[in-house]
Structure 1
Amino acid sequence: MNKLVTILCAIAFVLKVSSQTPYKIGDLVNEFTINTTLNTKQSFSTLKNINGNIVVLDFFGTWCVPCIKALPTLTALQQKYTGKLSILLISIEEEQRLKDFIAQRKNLSLPIVVDKGEAITQLFQPPAYPYTIVLNEERKIIAITKAENLTENYIDSLLAIKQPENIMVPQKPVVKQLQQAIVKEKMPINPIIALSEQFIYAAKTGTNTASLITNLQTLPFDSLHNFLVTDSEKKAFWINIYNGFTHVFLDKNPERYKNRSSFFSAKQITIAGKLFSLDAIEHGILRRSKIKWSEGYLNKWFPSKIEKELRVDTLDYRIHFALNCGAKSCPPIAFYNASKINEQLDIATKAYLNGEADYNARNNTLQLPTLMSWFRHDFGGKKQMLRLAKQLGIVPADKQPTIHFKKYDWNLYLNNFKN
């Protein structure tokens, strides 16, 4: 009988969904009215009246078993983050039924909004229950997930994005410059890139990345088009994703690094419902459909439709100083932000080459990192490499040294956050 009631409620809900386009990740939620709220002394007359840096709207049903199972988790989060987080349960059920439900649960302290006429529910149009919306301080949707995926680590990472200076504690000037480039950011947060930054933060601190990975997996594919429009946005997002997953995978199972070819080519990353390999992200998206082992001279003959949709318009050689493959010779991991990506990549390039490039005045030779040899066409050949070394002050302007390439150190090194 209970199963029948559940099915009938679900069918009734679907039939009542309006023709309005539902809100999606990245949308700014318009003001709406809250007429009746149970189980609280607070007044929530409108969305604007809800306090907190983060607001969670959990579309809830007394007939929904997963919804009920998530209540203790949501209650604990609300208690821990009082003043910073507000969680509201949204229900389309009759007020008396909800009052009876509350009366049977003494430990339930979360407010329940009685959505009479389903005015709020029709704005978001949950396709199924459970369905949870996470809003930032500007009341933009930064995640659409399930209540069970909301963990303390996840909430901590969301709050950390509001104070990026707390994400890292750099000890060297160049890393401080990278972080300052993020702190100076005044533009509205791009929710997709913010999610990638949260993921990097969790990977760095060794906290649970499961909920963030779930959010990345369940992003609407259209959101990649809507929020990753410019090359700056694409580079910031995909560099963060590449570095974050490399670290997570190898931290969990370092043995996978023994077969590097398999590790980098395996389709093991799900973003917006699509499978990607690390190679696909690096050579397909960030290098604009280049063949991996061709020194950058050859393009793929038949790149996939998805790759062509997502890839950058112009290849930027500086990405090679930002991507971390897990090896000791790899560049360090940093947080990349679209509005400051050029400044950050310049800093990363200077930092890496100042540490890895060696000029011998006696022999007039220049030793460069091997990765510049692997992708020499990306750098414009040896002439452009030398010009870059001169621009950075590594080689005197009047010298024409012979260029050699160093041996790459493939020893696994996971703590490469330049701290």
Structure 2
Amino acid sequence: MKSSISPERAKLCLRDSVRQIKSINKSLTKKLLCFLGGTLLLSSVQAQQKIEPFFIGDRIPDLPLHRIINYKNSTATLSSFGDKLIILDFWSIHCSSCIEQFPQEDSLQHILGDKLQFILLTLDPKEKVTSFLKHFDSSHHTKFSLPIIYSDSTICCLFRHHAVPHYVWLAPNGAFLAQTEQQFITPQIVEQVSNRVVGLQKQMRKEHFSEVMLTYPPPGKKLIEVIRQNKILIDNIR
């Protein structure tokens, strides 16, 4: 099923989007909106031939998520969170810069919960993460609510990075919008980007876009099995 929005109209939409948010970090928002519009409006699903790291502009498949705590289920997929901007937060219990961001991320999740989903991923084992959470909740007099994937050895390799915290921004159709450091996790930037992501998604549904363009592509069997086994993709860490 073909889109009813022409490439010319898509470009105008992107141009207007950039004008609307000039007040925030220009380089990041232009990059996000460029990849968001280009992938949501104009891209096609490509078959996954082999397991390789993802790059900005790729369509990310509907990755299975295992070993989740602080969530209603211990397993899920990216699509389980609906038509939202997903921000994957790669962190460690020994990373003070990571932990300093948690109160703000938790607050943003409560405020923008209908448009945004933070998902935290760490190499640390469940015992250490649960112990950390108890201490965090006690010291902050609150219950930390964000879902956490512990003992992750695979997804961290698919989104290559050399330090934490590291953030990956994904649109509801799997568009890999950006990867950033913590200085971009601000209320202003996150709200502006999530508004545009959800706004374009709603517009595309209203225009009766094919579900193929609106949802995460299905993952290949090999990728599903590698993630299930939680394999370390050594060849992809460079």
TM-score, structure 2 as length reference = 0.57
SS across alignment from 1:62: coil
Of 163, 168, 173, the match for 1:133: 168
**AA paired with 1:137?**
P
Matched with 1:64 is: 95
Matched with 1:34 is: 65
Matched with 1:24 is: 55
C-alpha spacing 1:99/1:124, structure 2 compared with 1 (3 Å): same
C-alpha spacing 1:39/1:133, structure 2 compared with 1 (3 Å): same
Matched with 2:196 is: 161
SS across alignment from 2:76: coil
- Alpha-carbon RMSD across the aligned residues, in angstroms, is 3.0
Of 145, 149, 166, the match for 1:109: 145
Shift in Å, 1:121: 1.1
- Aligned partners of 1:54, 1:44: CA distance in 2, in Å? 19
Q: Is the 8 A contact 1:60 1:91 kept in 2?
A: yes
**AA paired with 1:158?**
V
C-alpha spacing 1:154/1:132, structure 2 compared with 1 (3 Å): same
Which runs of 5 or more structure 2 residues have no equivalent in the other structure?
1-50, 201-205, 215-238
Divergent runs of 4+, >6 A = 186-189
Of 154, 162, 166, the match for 1:119: 154
- Aligned partners of 2:169, 2:82: CA distance in 1, in Å? 14
Q: How does 1:237-252 map to 2 (within 5 A)?
A: none
Matched with 1:99 is: 130
1:73 aligns with 2:90: no
- Aligned partners of 1:114, 1:140: CA distance in 2, in Å? 24
Q: Deviations over 1:166-217 (max 9, x none)?
A: xxxxxxxxxxxxxxxxx98x7979xxxxxxxxxxxxxxxxxxxxxxxxxxxx
Q: Deviations over 1:237-268 (max 9, x none)?
A: xxxxxxxxxxxxxxxxxxxxxxxxxxxxxxxx
Shift in Å, 1:45: 1.9
- Aligned partners of 1:95, 1:160: CA distance in 2, in Å? 34
* Greater Cα radius of gyration, structure 1 or 2: 1
Matched with 2:234 is: none
For this pair of structures, how many residues does the alignment match?
Answer: 154
Q: Deviations over 1:31-54 (max 9, x none)?
A: 322221112324542222233420
Q: Is the 8 A contact 2:79 2:172 kept in 1?
A: no
